[in-house]
Structure 1
Amino acid sequence: MGFYDYSVQTPKGDEVSMKSFEGKVVLVVNTATGCGFTPHYKDIEEMYEKYHDQGFEVVDVPCNQFAGQTPGTDEEIHSFCTLNYNTKFPQMKKSDVNGENELPLFRFLKDQKGFEGFGKGPAALAMNVLLKGIDKDYKNNPEIKWNFTKFVIDRKGNVVARFEPTAKMTDVALCVESLL
């Protein structure tokens, strides 16, 4: 199975097939409303506004699996994002990205691009310390480690990059731009 064979649900329960994004560059991201990385919404929205007309889409999947940082309902999450970050890209239903109830899309994405580390800098060091306390083997499995892990899919449905939340958003934007 490939990227276009998966789907996710909207908050109203409608299925959104990834096939509807065929021929487009897609950013798939698990998000949270109460996380230190929540300001990434601003950068993602800027990318969406800048590149949407060139064939860029965002698949935003709110997730409450990381320190309970997305406790609200789908409606509350949507209100938070539109009020605080003026987001216009569609949000999907709050869902799991790891474990028994994970979305099949995320299992596929993790199989395509595993964890390669948090990089360097203070945020990376903090994430390494945090994750050692949660999963001593975190460096050796592909699981999503935290909120705002991003996957970039090219116009042919290939998963070309995985960006951990510690990655610079300018690097994410450069990757997207290179595929447009």
Structure 2
Amino acid sequence: MRDVPNRHRGLPSRTPEMLYNVVRKFYRGAVSHYDLIQEKKREAHACWEQMQTSGDDRPLRAALTTLFLEFHFYVTCWLQIELALYRLARQDERLALVMDTFRAALERHVAVREQLEQTEACVAAQFTALGSGWSCPGIEQDAYLFDGFTFTVDESSLVELHALYAAIEEQRRLSPNEKA
């Protein structure tokens, strides 16, 4: 299994056309998954509200597990786009500039992807002791804690994804080696 820190080692060679197809496929996958994630966030919020009255955190933990599995799919799409872009960038300096422009967004999504490999630990990290009970600030603020930074799949993440895809597609259209 390829781990995130070593993700660029030993990648098989692919034609630019194949790599652009990978970008397109995973972009569409992430975009199509966005609404499901928003639904799972609403379900987790409802479980959080239920926990406020019942004190039982088990439904919330289950809802967060499901939510984070959906996050995992979304950030895996980002990872696959990043891997394809990395290979494209090695062949075309214009795509290297795209990668540099979006490096922070790519790294943030890939870092969350790495954290989500340990879903149960990610769920546990969302709960903080609060007096005699537990709180889950990520639910309240839609900002979940992943190894010292906060993250969520929201409109700004989707806007970044659209911008990344548009930049890659623009370079594809300008490439003399690619078919339109």
TM-score, reference length from structure 2? 0.24
**Larger relative contact order (CA 8 Å, sep ≥ 6):** 1
Normalising by the residue count of structure 1, what TM-score does the alignment of the two structures yield?
A: 0.24
More strand by share: 1
Q: Which has the larger radius of gyration?
A: 2
